[in-house]
Structure 1
Amino acid sequence: MSRAARVISFLQSLPITKGPLAGKKMKLLSSQREFVEAIYGDLDDKGIRRKRIGIKSEPKGNGKTGLVAGLVLAHLLGPESEARGEVYSAAIDRGQAALIFNEIEAIILQTPAFAARVNIQRFMKKIEVLSGDGMGSIYEAMSADARRAHGLSPTLFVYDELAQAPNRVLLDNLMNGLGKRKEALALIISTQAPDDSHPLSQMIDDGLSGADQSMFVQLIAAPMEADPFDEATWFACNPALGKYISLKEMREAAARARRIPAFEPSFRNLRLNQRVDARDNDRIVTGAVWKLGNQPVDRTSLAGRKCFGALDLSAKHDLTSLTLAFPSDEEEPLFDILQFCWTPAGTIADRQASEQERFRDWIRAGHIETTPGATVRYEFVASELSRLAREFDIQVIGFDRWRIDEFKVDLREVDPDFPVPLEPFGQGFKEMGPACDWFAELAVTGRIRHGGHPVLTAAVAGAITTKDPAGNIKLDKAKSDGRGPVRIDPAVTLVMSLALAKRFEAVPVVDVDDFLKNVVIA
């Protein structure tokens, strides 16, 4: 038998421990078989497995827990075991970690040949192999709140539902240990994360690009343009539907999502495995809508076009944002967007590890500019604004009143003849309500061209709205900050700049001679 065939044979020898099929042997779905063959069947000429990372992303309920348990046992007691191996399953919390451990324990207890070879430490969620293949190996269920992942050298780790992890700390600790074993393997089995910025989304996109030949990604998901309520869509992305996913339950969930819009995002994310946030009803626009504007913006072509700016200074230690919106001349204009961001160089190291990495990448790529020291130097921003005011035909710059007086002092010192008027823009429902509506209308109709600027995209992805009793919406910084990889200041200045462009009315130029010709003297 081939290596992949041995793993498949082992998995299909294991008992099903619960549900309507309890007592029968596991039978792999075709998609599960394809995943195992891709991971364990791709060998070099020395028989060494080429794949070091495998990602299987599919809707909930498609046999994930049983597959995870079987693969753990294959590396602990079965054909992939090795002496003194280290096998781990990782999960978002202790409860999820316990579910995986409980399934593994149940399989062992129903297989006398396994039970006789291991010592199960239920309280510690740990299993030790005492004899036979894999002797001296250990398995442990770890949760994201565990801190002992440092220094491990796993032969296998399986991360269950990485999409639910709030950060990548545990993932990074486990990944860093892979290089200590000749054939270490990382398997991630999860529904999709809600947005492109999540570590799981980045890994899926990288794997599907083919850039890393050591990674295999099996993504089973409904296309974003598919009808989420069409049963054909459900069957296309749920291999177990009608087998051990109840069609009746799926129909009930779909009817609820159709009837109550608040349930639709979670239905699409969990049941169709689409990259949709369950909180999308609170977002100003969805990720799919925002992607409509991911078209290149040619900065050189914007010279001479009128534009409208908005500035948010934020706190001195965080992100300062300036957005310039350039409307085209059509009756229904398309808006080209330029985004500028500044952050103090001295505070990068104080950010969380994943945030540091993101900020450093953006800084290297020129999407964020650093100011010297530990705070945003307003005179530095003032100098940049003065330069931009002479590069572009800026009609007005709206501002949030936060710290604006201090900034005006710096601006006068840098450029006493600054040519652009500054205009306050309120952050309450009165001004932000119509501004948010206008932004949403432009985004939905594909009339914002932003070039996929990553900092602006991250800010829009994290922007959460709140409503007043009359139904007006505004961006809620308190709810938004901490939900995405950056604060939402760039999203705020984008909304402001577009609103200023809409309400701006140029004073018409009147030819006096033509006017007098048409004057009728009574």
Structure 2
Amino acid sequence: MIPKTHPTWLFDSSPIPDPFGYGARAVRFLKALRHPESTSPGNSFQVDPWLERLVLAIYGPRHPNGTRIVKRVPMLLPRGNRKTTLCAALALLHTLGPERKPFSEVIAAAADRKQAALVHKQAVDIIRMDKRLINVSKLLDYRHKIISKKHGTFFEAIASDGKTQHGRSPSLIICDELHSWETLKLWNALESAIVKKDPLVILASTAGAGREHIAWAQYEQARRIARGDEVNQTVLPVLFEASADEDWKDERVWFRVNPGLSCVPPYQSISAMRDQAKQAESVPSTKANFLQYNLNVWADNSAAPFVDMGVYDKGADEIDFKALKAEPCWLGIDLSQVYDMTCIVAAWRDGKGGYLVRPWFFLPEEQLMKRATAGYREWTDAGFIEKSPGNAIDYEFFHRRLVEICGELNVQQIGVDPKGANPTLATLTNQGLPVFQFSQANGSMCPAVHELERAIVAGQFQHGGNPVLRWCFENVHTVKTADGYKRFHKGKSELKIDGAVAAAMAVKLAFDSELPGRAIDDAEFIRDFYKDQAA
């Protein structure tokens, strides 16, 4: 079924208002450009009909006083559809073309300096194809900057991992692959500029992963507007994406989601896509990449997921934790490294071979505003994350809460990774609590991961739908050890798996409780355990 968000208006003859002719003016500017890689006569910039209508829709509609109606364009385009080239052309439209404003700024922001440089390079390549543009431009390649000699307008490519960019006065902001930004520093700075200067904002991206990053919130709003569930004329959604339930091998879907495939000449090679799809049929990771980057299917965070999140979600029914207070439970603790999230997970046996779990998450208060994950603040406001004072982990605060939690539960054993945990181990020992040094080595964690996976797949893992814990499980992917067993791994530093690690530890301690005399790191037991499971 074709998603209702699909921009059909780009391919029909429906009227696009252009009362002042500014839309047509912008199209003429783009058509006058030349690109070194263009195969059109004279290397002219390829402005295909869908692209022409897109530019008209951005710059044509105006208020009676001539100001632009469209302020934000969330645009999802799969790889190979010339997203970067389009952004470079729009940057020049505002720097050297008719949309320029004297002494204003045009900003192209990306995750890192290398990615940011791509838009700048495309813009410079276009300028160097035209003496007229060369004569009115000053190129500062070492700063990724282009200056209009006559009007003082300048274009600059910046990175989200660089210095904070406060005090800017942009007329155009291009955010490239927002979902890959690991911090919110630049986004917050640009948001303050948006409030002051009311620029045009282009959010140009392929599909991302996970639902907690600020990018998901931006595109989800765009989807609501595209479906008609929300009315906002200042936002123009341009969403080329397939739905997760479509047949990803259907070439009609490919052509619908990739507008460049139907152009003459086409932007992409259909034979290359066929080869990729054929490989994706037998290689799961290749299929995940094909769906995300060629069809813009928004993915879970992990490219090699630990479990199907749909199966995981079956354990989201509400749990009466008050009724469990007197029941035996086991704790797993994943401590943070100075600035990160710390997690405690309690696990109870359900009497049927499964487990019920409850997590507690802690994060330094001053770190909340620095995280790219939009959910952090919402989760904190909803009580799913507790703030500890300061910018780094406050052990005194955490230990006090840990002792309080243990006092409310019938704790049988507490598993703590001994690495960097001396203060926590000492506190628990001094309180007379049953602390256990739970090594993160394969001998301990592989059986823990195995039992956790078994419980989830069997529908015997009840978690109550905690959103932070779900996010941690989304982020997990697994790697194989030399012995062929699974263990957890994470990719980007921003994607935390603390809750999943603590849950695995707690579940394993609960599992071991019915195996008297067997230590968690007993090599003989672990070997026999896997043999039995395989059988």
TM-score (norm 1): 0.77
Deviation of 1:212 after TM superposition, in Å, equals 9.0
1:455 corresponds to 2:464: no
CA distance in 2: counterparts of 1:198 and 1:313, whole angstroms: 22
Further displaced range: 442-451 or 68-77: 442-451
Q: Which residue number in structure 2 is paired with residue 265 of structure 1?
A: 288
Residue 146 of structure 2 corresponds to: 127
Match of 2:185 in 1: 169
Tell me the residue number matched to 2:89.
70
Q: How far apart, in 2, do the equivalents of 1:106 and 1:148 lie?
A: 28
Relative distance call for 1:316 and 1:56 in structure 2 (3 A) is closer
- Cross-structure match for 1:200: 215
CA distance in 1: counterparts of 2:493 and 2:311, whole angstroms: 17
Per-residue displacement from partner, 1:379-423 (whole Å, max 9, x unpaired)? 43122222244xxxx7x44523635753444544xxxxx9xx877
Identical counterparts, % of pairs: 25
**CA RMSD across the alignment:** 3.9
Distance 1:137 1:209 in 2: 35
2-structure distance, mates of 1:380, 1:314 = 14
| Deviation per residue, 1:245-294 (Å, 9 max, x gap) | 1001111222333344443333332222233379622x5236x4476348
TM-aligned CA deviation for residue 174 of structure 1: 2.8
> C-alpha separation between the residues in 2 aligned to 1:315 and 1:25?
51
Aligned residue in 1 for 2:299:
276
Provide closer, same or farther for how the CA distance between residues 148 and 284 of structure 1 changes in structure 2, counting only shifts above 3 A.
closer
Give the one of 115, 134, 141 matched to 2:157.
141
Q: What are the residue-to-residue correspondences of 1:295-306 with 2, within 5 Å?
A: 295-299=316-320
- Aligned residues of 2:212 and 2:375 also touching (Cα < 8 A): no
Aligned to 1:247: 270
Report the AA paired with residue 253 of structure 1: Q
Contact kept in structure 2, 1:92 and 1:144, CA below 8 Å: yes
Report the secondary structure of 1:66's partner residue: helix
CA distance in 2, matches of 1:273, 1:69: 22
SS at match of 2:220: helix
1:47-126 aligned within 5 A:
47-126=66-145
Is the partner of 2:344 in helix, strand or coil? strand
**Cα distance, 1:354 vs. partner?**
2.2
Distance across 2 between alignment mates of 1:307 and 1:320? 23
The 1:103/1:299 distance shift into structure 2, 3 A limit, reads same
Q: Which residue of 2 aligns with 1:489?
A: 498
1:339 aligns with 2:359: yes
Residue type of the alignment partner of 1:184 = P
Q: Which amino acid aligns with 1:107?
A: I
Match of 1:188 among 195, 203, 226: 203
Q: Give yes or no for contact 2:316–2:462 (8 Å, CA) kept in 1.
A: yes
| 1:299 alignment partner AA | D
Unmatched 5+ stretches in structure 1: 413-417, 508-522
Q: Alpha carbons of 1:272 and 1:448: their partners in 2 closer, same or farther (altered >3 Å)?
A: farther
Of 80-89 and 423-432, the range deviating more from structure 2? 423-432
Q: CA 1:166 to 1:425, structure 2 compared with 1: closer, same or farther past 3 Å? A: closer
CA distance, structure 2, for counterparts of residue 216 and residue 434 of structure 1? 50
Partner of 2:170: helix, strand, or coil?
coil
How far apart, in 1, do the equivalents of 2:189 and 2:320 lie? 41
2:4 is aligned to none
Q: Does 1:387 align with 2:387?
A: no
Q: Which residue of 1 aligns with 2:343?
A: 321
Instruction: Please give the TM-score of this superposition, normalised by the length of structure 2.
Output: 0.75
What amino acid is the match of 2:280?
Answer: A
3-state SS of paired residue (1:225): coil
| Equivalent pair of 2:319/2:464 in contact (CA under 8 Å) | no
Letter in structure 2 aligned against 1:254: A
Q: Distance in 2 between matches of 1:372 and 1:146?
A: 26
Tell me the equivalent position of 2:480.
467
Q: Report deviation, 1:35.
A: 4.5
Distance in 1, matches of 2:438 and 2:139, equals: 64
**Distance change >3 Å, CA 437–CA 7, structure 1 → 2:** farther
Q: 1:289 to 1:116 in 2, by over 3 A?
A: same
8 Å CA contact 1:292, 1:443 repeated in 2: no
Shift in alpha-carbon separation, 1:150–1:258, aligned structure 2, 3 A:
same
1:362 equivalenced with 2:373 (yes/no): no
Q: Does 1:160 align with 2:176?
A: yes
Q: Is the CA contact 1:35–1:56 (under 8 Å) kept in the aligned structure 2?
A: no
The alignment covers a number of residue pairs equal to: 479
Per the alignment, residue 312 of structure 1 pairs with 333
Q: 1:356 to 1:66 in 2, by over 3 A?
A: closer
Alignment map for 1:511-522 (pairs within 5 Å) = none
Cα separation, 2, equivalents of 1:27 and 1:380 = 61
1:371 deviates by 5.5
Give unpaired runs (5+ residues) of structure 2: 1-17, 517-535
